[in-house]
Amino acid sequence: MKNIIISILILILISASTGFAQQTFIRGNAKTYAKDTLKLLAYRDMITKKKIVIATAKVEESGDFVFSFSIQKTMMCMMDLNVFAGLIFVEPGKEYLVVLPKKMVKTEEDRYNPYFKVEEFYMTPLDIVALELNKSIRRLDYYCDKSLDMLYRNYRGVISPTKTNRVLEAINDSFPGIENAYFEEYKSYQYAVIKYMTYFRNKNVLVKKYFSDLPVLYNSPAYEYAFEKIIDNYFDEIADKDVKKEFYNAIKHKESWTRINEIAKEDSLLKQEPFREYVILKSLYKNFYTDDFMKREIIEVMNSASIESEYSLHREIARDFVGKSGKLLVGNIAPELNLRNKENDTLILNDFAGKFIYLNFFQYKNSACEKEIGAVEALYLRKIDLMEVVTVWTGGSYDDMLKFISENQFSWTFLYAPEDDRILKDYNIRAYPTYYMIHPEGTLSMKPAPSPLQEIEARYSQVYGRWKRELVRRENNNNTIKND
């Protein structure tokens, strides 16, 4: 019997030290959600902020529900509750009893409001042991925010290390007896930000202490917050000058991921992987969304990363980035339409061959769309040379679209897209209205295009003129070839 007990204890110790996945549970009773299927999500990474489903739970008629899932390490999860998102930090092998807010669903107005945001709240576990980590993180966030505000307000920017360290010691004293590795890690990154924001401006030293030689914490909000505040765009602000020059030159020439990784490795703070690759991915992602930066070149490098990176998560991040951002570059083939018009005919891009398509996405009962629909009509009525106005109409039903067109006597092309249609993802529609211009050859010409309330006609005149000149150039080349 003694030997069995010793063996069990050894297995427990091995499991704890090697990070084996352990079964974790979140339970509760929420009668207003009866028969619903709830989802528990987590961020896969903090670059793309892609959410993955950790577990689902069917709510019984009695209101009881249970999430059961295996995790290797502590992580932040969120419960999708329609208008709410419940946040909770979960530890492997623990059981949580939580209370959910009364069920609320988005109103019709909410559904069509492009600025509607889900309200986040921290779920409070009822069990005292499970509560400790969540309560401590919430208190720490509060104390850090208030302390930073107090330091700025009282010392008006002249903040010495002594003053900051006294504040950090006072915060520390508020958490006696807490022995939790995740909490200590979380706290260290919060403290790093406070030190940086008040007196310690040497980024190189902070990067060395908190990032370079430590694991990348892909799911940690504190790690991400510190990264954004301290590092931001590494190759612009911290990298060795020669490395920075070579890095951007390699992107310009669409060099391979392996080559760019080798260049970055020459930097004194990027010797360790996977931190080096993570920094490169973050920098590429940030630069891509900077106006006039080398978007096509970054896509090529990310495509290379999706194949050559040694880390599966990094390959996934790169693949998702290319899939989401690469296909909507100006000059690329526009995503297909394949939607019904008011005559119930299915139209595709080729039905508008030889014309520029001013493609606009409008949402039923959306106030912003209602304000601009008149300007779209006015633009259509001007019958601009070779411009075809096409409205993709979503929200409501197909019959709602027909009624809307009839009541307003609109005569340009409307196409119906259900709210879950893939075209909304293909065109990355996040707000309404959204406008694109598609070239007669089927490529994206403007992304996004100006609205009819902006300078669309002037911009169109430039694009149209360039295309006409290109046609003349091609014709001249063809004639030269024939004469030769």
316-357 confidence digits (pLDDT tens): 999 999 888 878 888 888 999 999 999 999 999 999 999 999
Pairing of the two strands 387-394 and 75-81: unpaired
219-255 confidence digits (pLDDT tens): 899 999 999 999 989 999 999 999 999 999 999 999 9
Q: What is the pTM of this model?
A: 0.78
Q: Has residue 1 got a pLDDT over 60?
A: no
Q: Has residue 192 got a pLDDT over 50?
A: yes
209: its two tokens: 């202490």
The most distant pair of C-alpha atoms in the chain lies apart, rounded to whole Å, by: 99
Task: Compute the distance between CA of residue 223 and CA of residue 233 in angstroms, rounded to an integer.
Answer: 15
CA dist 469 to 164, 355, 464, 466, 475, Å?
64, 16, 9, 5, 10
Check residue 7 and give its pLDDT: 44
Q: Are 189 and 244 in contact (CB under 8 A)?
A: no
Question: Could you give the 3-state DSSP secondary structure of residue 67?
Answer: strand
77-101 confidence digits (pLDDT tens): 999 999 999 999 999 999 999 999 9
Task: Compute the distance between CA of residue 130 and CA of residue 403 in angstroms, rounded to an integer.
Answer: 54
134-159 confidence digits (pLDDT tens): 999 999 999 999 999 998 888 766 78
Closest listed residue to residue 366, CA positions, set 344, 340, 392: 392
